[in-house]
Amino acid sequence: MKKVQKFVWDLVDWILFIDIIATVILVFANVIGRYCFNHSLAIVDEAARILFVWMVYIGSVVAMKEMTHIRVDILLMFLPKLARKIVDIVANLLVDCILLLTVQTTMNLVMENLTYPMPLTRIPYGVVQGIIPLSMLLMLIINLFHLVDLFKKQPEEKEGGKTA
């Protein structure tokens, strides 16, 4: 199971890396074309927009995996460890519900927009928006793993330490 997880996370990291590089190259080439040759390609702007949308959602998956999303936890610091654990579990369950609802809602959006192509690239809007339910599903899986870890963790453990 660990090998599969490592493969998936390596794949996500590589997709994000390639997405960033492609976006930089496309935008840089368009800037050079605009300022050196007085000509820019509109299709490059649309392609860069698509890549940027995918980059944002893939980046949110990576942030969820690394637990680096912004979180307001000042009140948690004043709670006893057991109460903090209970609040963390309830918060993760609420996040799971929101992610599940988002997957369901955006799947309908994606299916509806598969027939509408973008003006220049002719890529269907549904393909561009397909990253939304996919990323939400990946974040749901990640959050479920975090929830399992919360149940395994003893309340007396230090907050910053990782378990083996």
Whether 158 has a pLDDT exceeding 60, the answer reads no
Query: Which pLDDT score is estimated for 18?
Result: 94
Confidence of residue 155 (pLDDT cuts 50, 70, 90): low
> For the ranges 71-75, 96-100, 151-155, which has the lowest average pLDDT?
151-155
Mean pLDDT of 20-49: 90
Q: Is 122 left (phi over 0), alpha (psi -120 to 50) or beta?
A: left
Mean pLDDT of 52-61: 94
Q: Return the ∠ at Cα 118 (arms to 136 and 125), rounded to 5°.
A: 20
Q: State whether the Cα torsion 65-67-71-73 is positive or negative.
A: positive
d(C-alpha 135, C-alpha 130), whole Å: 9
pLDDT 10s digits, 105-132? 999 999 999 999 999 889 999 999 999 9
Mean pLDDT of 52-80: 88
CB within 8 Å of 111: residues ≥ 6 apart: 126
- Please give the share of the chain, as a percent, with pLDDT higher than 90: 52
* Bridge partner residues of 117 (DSSP): 124
Query: Which pLDDT score is estimated for 156?
Result: 55
Whether 44 has a pLDDT exceeding 70, the answer reads yes
What's the mean per-residue pLDDT of the chain?
87
d(C-alpha 59, C-alpha 68), whole Å: 11
- Please give the share of the chain, as a percent, with pLDDT higher than 70: 93
Query: Which pLDDT score is estimated for 163?
Result: 43
Mean pLDDT of 144-153: 86
Whether 162 has a pLDDT exceeding 70, the answer reads no
Q: What is the pTM of this model?
A: 0.80
